Amino acid sequence: MNSAIRTRLSALPANTNLMTEFPRWIVQECDAASVVLEIGAGEGKYGYPAAIRGRVARLVGIDPDGALARNPYLDERYQTTVEEFAREHDSRFDCLYSMFVLEHVSDPAGFLTACRSLLHPGGKLFAATPNLWHYFGATTKATAALGVEDWLLECLRGREIKESYHFPTAYRMNSVRALTRALARAGFREVDFRCFDEPSRFQIYLPPAARWFPVMYSKLVYTLRLPRAMGMLMLKASV
């Protein structure tokens, strides 16, 4: 671990539901006066921001995608990147969060520096992302490097899923080690990682005959106590 940043690492149960656990963790650090930013808010298709919006003073969303205009959970919407947004909103927020965004970031330093500048002293960045050192993350990065990521996703999930939900991946800060180093360089002082392996999340990408594998893999990483090899990473990084 990087000595410049305090780090904690723990494992959550295998039956953890990301869509309830992630917002629950966020609202524990917020109150009725908090101003919160969702990075990569999109159209709000997952619905979990509703649990956050009811507990904070203001929920702001940014995304370069025009689908942001259809997001029903936000008090403010800005169609832009976090790097551009940070230029005019220095130290505005108590909390930032993103779900399934980090794996698409091609410039970790620029992204995290922008996040750092958006936060008040004592503010927190939350993120949920697939783990590179899990079979799903490793396969995704490898297929992207080979230029067959879109083809494989279409084979496994169909054309509609690929065209509606898929964006290019980079996997440049999707492990405990890579994130710890990048956060330290961006000026965060501590980070808490909570990892878990939710087999059902990955079974949908496999043919029916192979859907036993995520269950067996999950049992193995919990038996061996290997949170760094679990499928999902959640983090809370403090300024």
Rounded Cα distance between 152 and 155, Å, is: 5
Residue 215 resides in a domain: yes
Residue 1 resides in a domain: no
CATH code of the domain covering residue 30: 3.40.50.150
CB contact set of 224 (below 8 Å; sequence gap of 6+): none
Give the 3-state secondary structure of residue 8. strand
Residues 173 and 208: beta-carbon distance below 8 Å: no
Residues 36 and 29: beta-carbon distance below 8 Å: no
Residue 70 resides in a domain: yes
pLDDT tens track for 67-117: 999 999 999 999 999 999 999 999 999 999 999 999 999 999 999 999 999
E-strand stretches of the chain: 6-11, 35-39, 58-62, 76-78, 93-99, 119-130, 190-196, 232-238
Give the 3-state secondary structure of residue 137. helix
Mean pLDDT across 56-73: 97
Full residue range of the structural domain in which residue 180 is found: 6-238
Rounded Cα distance between 173 and 105, Å, is: 8
Supply the pTM of this predicted model. 0.92
Total of domains in the chain: 1
pLDDT tens track for 113-156: 999 999 999 999 999 999 999 999 998 888 877 675 665 555 65
Quote the mean pLDDT of the chain: 91
**pLDDT of 9 higher than 90:** yes
Mean pLDDT across 200-205: 90
91: phi > 0 → left, psi -120 to 50 → alpha, else beta; which?
A: left
Give the 3-state secondary structure of residue 7. strand
Q: What is the greatest pairwise CA distance in the chain?
A: 52
